[in-house]
Amino acid sequence: MSIRAENKVHEMGKNSQAVRAKLIDRTPKSGEMALRGHPSLAMEVVQTVDMPHQLYIDKAEGPYLTDLDGNQYIDLTCGFGPNVVGNRFEPVEKALAAQIKKGWHYGIPGAEQAHLAELIKGSSSAVDEVMFCNSGSEATMFAFRAARAVSGKRVVALFDGSYHGIHDYALVKADHRSERSDPTGVTLGAGIPEEISQNLVTMLPNRDSNAYEIIRKYKDELALVVIEPVQSSNPRLDNKEFLQGLRDVCTECDVLLMFDEVITGFRIEYGGCQQYYDINPDIITYGKAVGGGMPIGVVAGPRKVMNAFSGTDDTPAIFAGGTFNGHPLTMVAGITILEYLKENQNEIYPYLHEQGNRIAKEINDF
């Protein structure tokens, strides 16, 4: 490391200490709440940066969050993705208020489910049918299960660096000791049987053509190849060539291809990465933005795959249900936000790309 770089690191360390001290001074109520929560909460709120204590939010509006002490922050993550047009979007708020007066939980379907399903179907030529659940993790879990039922095969392939939720079959990562071009999987966290990473989930190298050869080698065992078209951990957009090659090899090998668009769906374009790259997968999962800030997961795809949710003479039905699936509040929030995004897509998405490119450039320049 050069002297200049060492000096910069030293200066950043001093600045970090100063920021921590300032944060402690400005957030006494959050500090008190953090101490109060420790005896009761089995798990702390997830943090992505080193903080002296968790910040606790009192309210949110537009691009801002306000903590218990009245400090205002820019919400850079938009609630980790769902609030694509900001917090407390007025049309969604009004739709939720109106639905509450009609009832906020039925247990059986309301007309809102069909309306939102039609909007999702209209966003992609790959979609014939839609199934609702309550989170992106549930969506990928059901999608994996459906692929096994349809294909009659049992192995699912994930890419190095991917994230597909918190169920056992998604929490497999590449062992850092293995070859980059031919990674082996290890389970992430305790409580997950090693047999999953050894026998039921295999790993593929991202943006590496050797992935195609691994698929060809194990095609008779692979039920599904799953990919984030733009990885949340490596958000580069120049993936068209690799994704097209992946589509081609999965078709060649008769292996189902899934785009996990929980993060990218209705955010990179109205039609997600399918529209952005002009590539149709066999299964798509959605979440986050499609719920307008309410909890949601979606499995979508052509009828030949979605038949697994109802069963046919050729495809046995999987078990897929949930008390809160298709929740009325989520449905009306989703309808409202998707109608807004659809109507204004020619203005919204170019603006989002412009701002994203600007921020990326400024960070890279820094």
**CATH number of the domain residue 14 falls in:** 3.90.1150.10
Is 182 an active-site residue? no
What integer is the mean pLDDT of 70-84? 94
Domain that holds residue 217: 90-349
Is 260 an active-site residue? yes
Is 8 an active-site residue? no
Which of 67, 276, 282, 288 is catalytic? The answer is 288
Q: Give this prediction's pTM.
A: 0.92
Report helix angle 28-37 to 3-26, nearest 10: 80
CATH of the domain at 261: 3.40.640.10
Q: Tell me the backbone φ, ψ of residue 298, rounded to 5 degrees.
A: -140, 135
Examine the domain organization and report whether 68 and 100 are in the same domain: no
Which of 163, 169, 276, 277 is catalytic? The answer is 163
Structure tokens at 272: 């997600």
Pairing of strands 283-287, 172-174: unpaired
Examine the domain organization and report whether 51 and 165 are in the same domain: no
For residue 46, pLDDT over 70 is answered with no
Q: What percentage of the chain carries pLDDT values higher than 70?
A: 94
Examine the domain organization and report whether 165 and 47 are in the same domain: no
Examine the domain organization and report whether 94 and 62 are in the same domain: no
Examine the domain organization and report whether 118 and 48 are in the same domain: no
Residues 6+ apart with CB under 8 A from 228: 159, 162, 163, 164, 259, 260, 263, 264
Q: How far lies 117's CA from each of 109, 128, 137, 165, in Å?
A: 12, 10, 19, 22
Which of 153, 260, 282, 349 is catalytic? The answer is 260
Lowest-confidence range among 1-10, 120-129, 343-352? 1-10
The pLDDT-based confidence of 54 (bands split at 50, 70, 90) is confident
For residue 13, pLDDT over 90 is answered with no
Q: What is the pLDDT of residue 314?
A: 86
